[in-house]
Chain A
Amino acid sequence: MLNRVNGSTNFAIPMSILIGDTNGNGTVNASDVSQTKSRVGHAVDGINFRSDVNANGYINAADVSIAKSSVGTGLP
C-alpha cells in the first residue's frame, strides 16, 4: 500500500508469474497438482483462483494437466 505519494518519481515493482504454482510458493510440484485435483469442479473464488490455471472460470482436468506439465519449473 502506498500512502501520501506525491511527485513523479518512477520506481519498479517486481512481479513474477509462474503458471501452475497454485499454492504460491515459487515452485511447481506435486503439491500444486494435488491441490488443483482437489479443487476440480469447485466454483472459482478468491481462495482457489490460482487453481484455475488457464483462467477460463472453471477448475477442471485442463487445469490439472497444465499444472502437471509445469512441474519442475520455478521462479529464480
Chain B
Amino acid sequence: MKKTLLTALICATTTTSAVFAQESATLSITGPSSWVPGTSITLSVQDTYTNLGGSYGLSYWLQVDTTVAPFLTITGLTHFIWPGYNGPFPILFDPITGIETVDLGGSGNLIPDGSYHVTDITFGLAANAAAGTYTLHTTTMNPLASIQTDHNFNDVGIPQASFVFNVVPEASTLALLGIGAVGSGMLIYRRRKHRGGATD
C-alpha cells in the first residue's frame, strides 16, 4: 500500500513538473574580443532553448554603443539551422539608437529543444573607429524584442545577451605611434639642450 502510494506520488510530481515546465530560451555570443580597425570580425551565436516542444525559429537584433555604431557594419550572415536574411549587405547600425536594421534570426522547420550554433555574424570595423571598450547586446524591447518561436508559434522572450569587445590599434600602427613619440621626444630634448647651450 505504501509502495503504491509512493509510486503515485512520484508520478503525480513528475506530471506536475512536466505540465508547469518553464519555457526558456537564451542566446550566447562568442568570438574574438580584440578588434582592429579596418578589419573583419566574425562572432558565433549559440541558441539554447528548453521546454518549447521544439522551435520554428527566432528573431533577434543587435545594439551597440552609439559612439562606435557609425563605424560598425554587418557584412555577412551565415545561418546554420533556419534560413534567414541573406542580403543585401552591409547592414548598418543606427547612429542614434545603435540598433541595426535587420532581424538576424531565421525561421523554418520545427527543430527539437536543444542547443544549436545558429548564426555566424561577420562585422566590418572602419579604419577610423576609435579605440575603446564597447558592448554589443541583443534587444529586448518591443517591437524589436528578441524571441524564440515555440511549437505553437508563440513568442518566448530571450533575455539580453551581451558581448564586450575592445577596439585596439593594429600592432604596426602602435609601432608608428611609438616611433613618432620617440622622435618628438628627441626633438624636444635637442631643442632644450641647444637652448641651454646658447645661454651659457
Contact = CB atoms under 8 A, between A and B. Distances in A.
Contact of A31 (B82, B106, B154): B154
Interface residues of A, number: 20
Given A25-B155, A29-B155, A71-B103, A34 B143 contact: no
B107 interface: yes
Contacts of B119: none
Nearest to A22: B153
B142 A27 contact: yes
Interface of B: 56-59, 61, 82, 103, 105-108, 142-145, 147, 149, 153-155
29 contacts: A22-B153, A25-B154, A27-B142, A27-B145, A27-B155, A28-B143, A29-B59, A29-B103, A29-B105, A29-B145, A29-B147, A29-B155, A30-B57, A30-B105, A30-B147, A31-B57, A31-B59, A31-B153, A33-B57, A34-B57, A34-B108, A34-B149, A34-B153, A35-B153, A38-B56, A71-B59, A72-B59, A72-B103, A72-B144
